[in-house]
Amino acid sequence: MLGWKIGDVTITCVVETTSCELDEILFPEVAREEREAISWLRPHFLDADGRMLLSFQCFVVESCGRRIVVDTCVGNDKDRPMPDWNHRSGPFLQDLACAGAERESIDLVLCTHLHIDHVGWNTMLLGGKWVPTFPNARYLFGRVEWEHWKDQPEDLGPVITDSVRPIVDAGLVDLVETDHRLTDEVWLESTPGHTPGHVSVRIRSRGERAVISGDVMHHPCQIAHPEWSPAFDHDRARATVTRRAFLEGCSDAPVLVIGTHFAAPTAGRIVRDGATFRFVV
Ligand SMILES: [Zn+2]
């Protein structure tokens, strides 16, 4: 299980799945040869056939005596149109416990945004009902994000209905602003574009720095090509501006960048590479 120490903060990565399932649909305008031309994507981020690997994972952040879950993946038992995500029965909760983070021990749950693959384990099926997976946690949802999604049609399955609204109804939600501070060492940064209220998670302790990207980028190829924007970015132009600014900021400072969908080793440094950037793991 991957993990990092940033000063006094520990971060543990719990992977739900790693696959090439999105290879064909992530960047429909980008030819495979263009990705293959980025030599440093091998061996970690392309498979043997040159397909893009993506992980779906959450991060357990321990800071100032608080145990925080950042993003909750796809979840089990959910009714979803994608075969890989439909009625899953994976060992995520056992893996979380193996990471020393039993679900009852979680203090805060933070969703970087309210997409299907970031809210799934907010709830679990118990006695035919969706109940909060983390009963002792406060769930932090972005106010802007919730305002956007709460009345949208649900075209990828009942995501808000089964994974977000039950938490609201249970009274466990705190709606937070995009610069919310979770602890003295952990705070949110507004990174809009992928969704209107999207945030990344900044960490600083004893002079060391890290950031959990969220979906500012999905695959490391976007570090070399910040203009590559997936079809499911809500506002592709804004997402590109945000992504470029994010990469610029990270390249100018010693900050460990932890990619929310990056396959292992998941974390590295952004360095300048001519007019663009590369990822050094
Ligand atoms: Zn995502």
Cα–Cα distance for residue pair 3/104, rounded to 1 Å: 21
Residues 35, 89 contacting (CB under 8 angstroms): no
E-strand spans in the chain? 3-6, 9-19, 54-63, 66-70, 108-110, 123-126, 129-132, 138-142, 173-176, 186-190, 199-205, 208-212, 255-258, 267-273, 276-280
* Closest to 59 in 3D by CA, of 210, 233, 246: 210
What backbone torsions phi and psi does residue 100 show, to the nearest 5 degrees?
A: 80, 20
* Closest to 199 in 3D by CA, of 224, 185, 216: 216
The whole domain housing 152 covers 3-280
Sheet holding 54-63, edge to edge: 3-6, 9-19, 54-63, 66-70, 108-110, 138-142, 173-176
Centre of ligand 1 to C-alpha 55, Å, is 9
Centre of ligand 1 to C-alpha 206, Å, is 30
Q: Spell out the per-residue pLDDT of the chain, length 281, in tens.
A: 999 999 999 999 999 999 999 998 999 999 999 999 999 999 999 999 999 999 999 999 999 999 999 999 999 999 999 999 999 999 999 999 999 999 999 999 999 999 999 999 999 999 999 999 999 999 999 999 999 999 999 989 999 999 999 999 999 999 999 999 999 999 999 999 999 999 999 999 999 999 999 999 999 999 999 999 998 899 999 999 999 999 999 998 899 999 999 999 999 999 999 999 999 99
**What CATH number has the domain bearing residue 200?**
3.60.15.10
Q: Which residues of 265-281 are buried (b: 16+ CB within 10 A; e: fewer)?
A: ebbbbbeeeeeebbbee
Cα–Cα distance for residue pair 103/234, rounded to 1 Å: 31
CA atoms within 13 A on the CB side of 275: 3
CA atoms within 13 A on the CB side of 179: 0
Residues 106, 79 contacting (CB under 8 angstroms): no
Centre of ligand 1 to C-alpha 220, Å, is 14
Centre of ligand 1 to C-alpha 280, Å, is 22
CA dihedral 232, 233, 237, 240 (to 10 degrees): -120
User: Ligand 1 being an ion, which residues bring their Cβ within 5 A of it?
Assistant: 117, 215
Centre of ligand 1 to C-alpha 215, Å, is 6
Domain count for the chain: 1
pTM of the model: 0.98
How would you classify residue 122: left for phi > 0, otherwise alpha for psi between -120 and 50, otherwise beta? alpha
